[in-house]
Amino acid sequence: MIKVLLACVCAWAALLLAGCATTTAVSNAESQGPVVPLAFRGDTGQSATIDEIADLAARAPALLLGENHGHPLGLSTAADLFDRVLTKAPAASLALEFIERDSQPALDDYLAGLIDEPTFRTITRRTDSNYPQGHRAMVERAKAAGRPVLAANAPRVYVRLARTQGYERLATLTPEQRRLFRVPPQLASGKYRDDFEKVMNSMRPDAKPSPERTAQIDAMFRSQQVWDWTMGESVARLVAAGATPAVLVVGRFHIDHRGGTVQAFEQLSPGARALTVTFVDAWSDRLRDEDRGLADFVVYVGPSPAQN
């Protein structure tokens, strides 16, 4: 599990410090695993199909999809799931971690047909890396259906400010600035915080425990939680507007074991429970013991291309 969390948070840390089908089992002799995703219930291990997940998601207030960033099969499976959900629940909406709130006007202009895709990409600095085909497919599906898409995340400048100067500094900003992020009322504790600290320490195995090291991890967790609460608030807004299910595509660290973004959404939407699906970058024909409880549904999509 730490390997998976490390892959997600390493990408997050790099950004922060710089500035974040079907389900039929088919054997493949070369990969020695299935060539299509296999899904299982995260509690019982019972097998499931993508369409069965979509049926449940269509009746949920929110669907949180935990991805491995840049994983082609994982992203295409997520796009397929979103397509099925939207077919079953025409009021569904979409929210994306990798587009920040200050890009919402350009995103809205594109969805409304006021600008073309190259202009949208230029304004929002979309590249094949931060706007992979799976994300694009979901946006295009929502656009074709006339459904809203939210730029769900906090702009990096405010996330960095949370790390370097704390929430007190964020509170001094103007209302226009503050609408671009959400500060948590309190920091998460328990497993989510513990896993975050383990990952941070695994990135610096030479670092000795010290007050300075603790303060550094605390500062980074402040930033992590601004992301969690901004994205959770974005989903909550869609749900409050009746655009359900609200489907958020986000790095799986944020939702595994009902992590920080799940917690934020459910605190902001009392009585609502998000359905969670996490995509694991491994092959398995059963729910692995280490993945039990990871999400409501666990989908195995094989190693990332970089791992092959």
Confidence of residue 36 (pLDDT cuts 50, 70, 90): confident
Q: How many CB atoms lie within 10 A of CB 172?
A: 9
Percent of the chain with pLDDT over 90: 80
Tell me what pLDDT residue 242 has.
Answer: 97
Confidence of residue 28 (pLDDT cuts 50, 70, 90): very low
Report the chain's mean pLDDT, rounded to a whole number: 89
User: Is the pLDDT reported for residue 166 higher than 80?
Assistant: yes
Q: In what order do the strands lie in the sheet with 275-280?
A: 47-48, 38-41, 297-300, 275-280, 62-67, 246-251, 93-100, 149-153
**CA of 74: how far to CAs of 150, 228, 229, in Å?**
21, 22, 25
User: Is the pLDDT reported for residue 18 higher than 60?
Assistant: no
Confidence of residue 11 (pLDDT cuts 50, 70, 90): very low
Phi-psi region of 244 (alpha: psi -120 to 50; beta: other; left: phi over 0): beta
Tell me what pLDDT residue 32 has.
Answer: 52
Report d(CA 154, CA 156) in Å as an integer: 6
Report d(CA 133, CA 184) in Å as an integer: 32
pLDDT, one tens digit per residue, over 87-114 is 999 999 999 999 999 999 999 999 999 9
Report d(CA 66, CA 279) in Å as an integer: 6
**CA of 22: how far to CAs of 48, 76, 302, in Å?**
10, 11, 14
Tell me what pLDDT residue 187 has.
Answer: 95
User: What is residue 297's three-state secondary structure?
Assistant: strand
Q: What structural domains and CATH numbers belong to the chain?
A: 2-155+225-307 (3.40.50.11550)
Confidence of residue 30 (pLDDT cuts 50, 70, 90): very low
Tokens representing 226?
């601004």
Tell me what pLDDT residue 143 has.
Answer: 98
Tell me what pLDDT residue 308 has.
Answer: 52
User: Is the pLDDT reported for residue 140 higher than 50?
Assistant: yes
Tell me what pLDDT residue 26 has.
Answer: 33
Q: What average pLDDT score do residues 164-189 get?
A: 97
Q: Which residues contact 34 (CB under 8 A, 6 or more apart)?
A: 25, 26, 27, 28, 283, 285, 300, 302
Tokens representing 74?
């994982």
Tokens representing 302?
């094989």
pLDDT, one tens digit per residue, over 52-80 is 999 999 999 999 999 998 999 999 999 99
